[in-house]
Amino acid sequence: MEYILFLMNKLKNILVIVLMIYSTGLGECNKCQDGFILEEGSGICVICPAGTYETNYNTKCKNCTAGYYSNPGAHKCSSCPSGFISEEGSSKCTICPAGTYETNYNTKCKKCSAGYFSKAGAHTCSACPSGYISEEGSSFCSICPAGTYETNYNTKCKKCSAGYYSDAGAHTCSECPSGFISEEGSSFCSICPEGTYETNYNTKCKKCSAGYYSYAGAHSCSSCPSGYISKEGSSACAICPSGTYDTNSNTKCKECKNNYDSSIGSHFCFKKNSFPSQCNPGYYYSSNKCKICSKGHYCKGGFSSYSTCPYGTFSEEGSSFCTKCPAGTKSSSNRGKCIECSAGHFSVEGSSECSVCPIGTFSKEGSSFCTKCPAETKSSSNRDKCIECSSGYFSFAGSNECFICQQGTYSGTNYCIKCPKNFYLNINTNECIKCPEGYYSLEGSLECSIYQSKENTLYSITNTH
């Protein structure tokens, strides 16, 4: 009995194969074309519907697996393009929305992590550029505002500490130049006014003590010259009038005793009617004679001693006053001359030192300010020039680094540009190239895909004897 059943099954399979075949006028038999199956008992080849494919020698239409799709009459299913997904038995693929990316072999759209972003149809998420942040599932990155900097792998904008500042889109904060201060979260630094000096790591302007003075933007206060005095917070020293002299602290002009007198700006008194010859300006009185003032000092003449020029100024030999160093220079250590700031540095008038240019800027030798690097460039490590971004990278004005363009885009000014539909990006030449005849692509593609289509038709099997 079992053998009979075996034979019957064999005969059934043979009959199915025979039904798949029809005879021509020449007595030849043909099978259903690819993508069609034989409808049992009707003698008709039926097209496999969209979302399926023909298998088992034209005997079955099977669902496409997830991540694949098909048109009607498919002999096999096509993989979804990169950035698209599908469920089992799909006739089309669905693009992954912005803020997600395609994963699990075209079966799932997953949210981008914080610090990343994507456009619609992405296969991967792109990291936010330096100075930008994003939340989970973002389609764009937000620039960190001025006074903050990007941290925690592009997930947070943190306030600059006091004594630092930043422009919008900063990856780090820049230290305020000497003589300037800032509060927490500042986008600029404020110069310390006259009569004060910068202290506490660029966080506070403190008044000069009595007997000292300062210009605006001072890092320290200078002591008043001999024969001069000042009050707390002074921007200049006042000369002691005749008949008085300054004490060693330069804080008070004290009257000479009876029978003693002094010339203007003196630091000692002489007995009346016994004045020696007074010194001319540019000379100072010492050991009963006048001596010429050396470089980096100034002498008021009379019976005054010499005084050292304050920081940020200079003087030649025989000077009765000191001159502020011009912007773009700093005073030498002995205050005998002004030295040009080197490239990548700058200074304001009356500076004792040159400050490093902030990141994203540059300067030439002897500069009084720093210039932002233009878009598509970045500042060099020593801030003396701007370097062009490499092909496939972009930058914003004032950047200290270049950012890679996401897949399917090429660098433009300030941003990356997607290749249009039916074009693909050549990553070697950074240009968009048209797809060949019979191929297509979506916007922002790295490759072209071949068109696949089938006629949605039925045809009959005709038996001829």
pLDDT in tens, 361-405: 999 999 999 998 998 899 999 999 999 988 778 887 888 788 777
Residue 29 has a pLDDT of 58
Do 174 and 166 contact (CB within 8 A), yes or no? yes
Q: What are residue 443's DSSP bridge partners?
A: none
DSSP state of 5: H
Do 216 and 192 contact (CB within 8 A), yes or no? yes
Pairing of strands 409-411, 416-418: antiparallel
- The CA-atom distances, in angstroms, between 358 and each of 43, 51, 83, 316, 330 are 82, 59, 40, 34, 18
> Is the predicted pLDDT of residue 192 greater than 70, yes or no?
yes
> Is the predicted pLDDT of residue 407 greater than 70, yes or no?
no
Q: Which alpha helices (DSSP H) does 398-456 contain, by range?
A: none
SS (H, E, C) 373-415: CCCCEEECCCCCCEEECCCCEECCCCCCCCEECCCCEEECCCC
- When the pLDDT of each residue in the chain is averaged and rounded to a whole number, the result is 84
Residue 457 has a pLDDT of 30
| Domain range list for the chain | 2-95+455-459
pLDDT in tens, 203-221: 999 999 999 998 888 888 9
Query: Taking Cα atoms as reference points, which of 273, 245, 241 lies closest to residue 259?
Result: 273
pLDDT in tens, 318-329: 998 999 999 999
Compare 5 and 315 and report the one with higher pLDDT. Answer: 315
Residue 334 has a pLDDT of 93
> Is the predicted pLDDT of residue 411 greater than 80, yes or no?
no
- The CA-atom distances, in angstroms, between 272 and each of 254, 263, 279, 287, 362 are 17, 11, 18, 19, 63
DSSP state of 337: S
Angle of CA points 87, 91, 93, to nearest 5°: 60
- Other beta carbons within 10 Å of 66: 18
> Is the predicted pLDDT of residue 267 greater than 90, yes or no?
no
Compare 450 and 183 and report the one with higher pLDDT. Answer: 183
Residue 115 has a pLDDT of 95
pLDDT in tens, 333-356: 999 999 999 999 999 888 888 988
- Which amino acid is located at 398 in the chain? G
Sign for the CA dihedral angle at 66, 79, 451, 111 comes to: positive
Residue 397 has a pLDDT of 80
> Is the predicted pLDDT of residue 6 greater than 60, yes or no?
no
Helix (H) or strand (E) holding 204: strand 204-207
Residue 453 has a pLDDT of 46
